[in-house]
Amino acid sequence: MFRSKVKALRLLQLGYTLRHTAFCSRLVLGIETSCDDTGAAVLDETGAILGESLHSQKEVHLRTGGIIPTVAQQLHRENIERVVQEALERSGVAPSQLAAVATTVKPGLALSLGVGLEFTRQLVRRHDKPFIPIHHMEAHALTVRMLQPVSFPFLVLLVSGGHSLLAVAQGVDDFLLLGHALDEAPGDTLDKVARRLSLVKHPQCSSLSGGQAIELLARDGDRTKFSFRTPMGQTHDCCFSFAGLRNQITMTIMKKEAEEGVEEGTLLKCVNDIAAAAQHTVAAHLAKRTHRAILFCKANGLLPPSSPTLVLSGGVASNQYIRKALTIVTEMTGLHLICPPAKFCTDNGVMIAWNGVERLREGKGILAPDVDVCYEPRSVYLFTRFILLFF
């Protein structure tokens, strides 16, 4: 999974890892700073959350109309030590009792990842603890295994503000990538539509993220009032594209502003209907591509014939309308849909610690504290194999 330097050092580090963890309880500290949340948690090997802490930057970024990387970096710097200390104190665990520290190193905002990695580097070297670099999307994919028994292999749909992908999880570090976002992620699309609609000015939405505002207003909207074309209807693979859809929505908003005689930045009378139509088309696109992936997996024996599972995770997985659309697909195809609770769909230290626990169990990706690791902001192809699907 971790190529070049990590593979070359694996045999040398194995002896260190076995000697070190033999005398430590299997407690893992997880640290997450890939975007705009500073999270930390301590878990034991059963997945029990002994202590956690999370600092959200949402209110700051709502005021600025989006995430500014330098602002996110500074807020991580100001809060990471406190967040980690709170997680440790709430767990009653001292750094000396940890078996390892797991931290997100890819993908994400470079400046944010750098804060978490540098803090971790100092921590593991100070206390001579193994370091487990974590891929953010792998952590999202495996969180469900902390909550209930889910055996490999299973299909996973990860949807967030920065990513959208379909993959077959075949092991802790073994994933087959079926499709990914070609341009922007669904969460990013919904956030940008919300900004273009100026939903922050809506009395019900001033404290909500863009995606949350769209979901709220869509409940009272009529999606049939606007017809947006579902992307990639003639493309026979499992990838996603949302930029074209956003352009359709933007053109519609401009047209309605002209009809109502208002300037950009003014709330439209039909805002609920546009929100409903936008949300529906995003959900339809996700559902159709997931349906294709399910058919491909069944045709190629990639999922078990008995009780095959689809895991839906990532921040956008909290959207209930999208969950309902995926429920229809899984019921139609005989899959069991599992969605982690909303608090585990968004970024947090718990999922990072759990991924560390799983890797520690299998002895995979565990590094000595003095090994240099670089963060990788654009590590989209996280999985070991990527298959192009045309069927």
**Domain boundary assignment for the chain:** 28-149+346-362
Which residue type does 40 have?
A: A
Specify the long-range contacts of residues 189-194, CB closer than 8 Å, at least 24 apart. Answer: 189/242, 189/243, 189/245, 189/246, 189/282, 190/214, 190/278, 190/279, 190/282, 190/316, 191/66, 191/161, 192/246, 193/246, 193/249, 193/250, 193/274, 193/275, 193/278
What integer pLDDT is reported at residue 2 of this predicted model?
35
What integer pLDDT is reported at residue 380 of this predicted model?
53
Q: Answer yes or no: is pLDDT of 71 > 70.
A: yes
Rounded to the nearest integer, the mean pLDDT of the chain is 91
Give the Cα separation of 10 and 300 in Å (integer).
33
pLDDT by residue (tens digit) across 52-61? 999 999 888 8
pLDDT by residue (tens digit) across 242-255? 999 999 999 999 99
The percent of residues above 90 in pLDDT, for the chain, comes to 83
Give the Cα separation of 245 and 265 in Å (integer).
20
Chain mean position to CA 183:
16
Dmax (CA) of the chain: 72
Q: Tokens 């700073």 sit at which residue?
A: 33
pLDDT by residue (tens digit) across 227-286? 999 999 889 999 999 999 999 999 999 999 999 999 999 999 999 999 999 999 999 999
Q: According to CATH, what is the number of the domain 28-149+346-362? A: 3.30.420.40
What integer pLDDT is reported at residue 66 of this predicted model?
81
Q: Answer yes or no: is pLDDT of 310 > 50.
A: yes
What global pTM score does this model have? 0.89
- What angle in degrees, to the nearest 10, is found between the helix axes of 320-333 and 210-218? 70
Q: Answer yes or no: is pLDDT of 65 > 80.
A: no
What integer pLDDT is reported at residue 161 of this predicted model?
85
Residue 183, CA distances (Å) to 129, 141, 239, 356 in order = 39, 21, 10, 30
What integer pLDDT is reported at residue 62 of this predicted model?
81
pLDDT by residue (tens digit) across 162-221? 889 999 999 999 999 999 999 999 999 999 999 999 999 999 998 999 999 999 999 999
Secondary structure element (H or E) that encloses residue 166, with its range? strand 164-171
What integer pLDDT is reported at residue 10 of this predicted model?
45
Rounded to an integer, the average pLDDT of 287-312 is 96
Residue 238, CA distances (Å) to 197, 292, 386 in order = 30, 6, 11
Q: Tokens 């990838």 sit at which residue?
A: 239
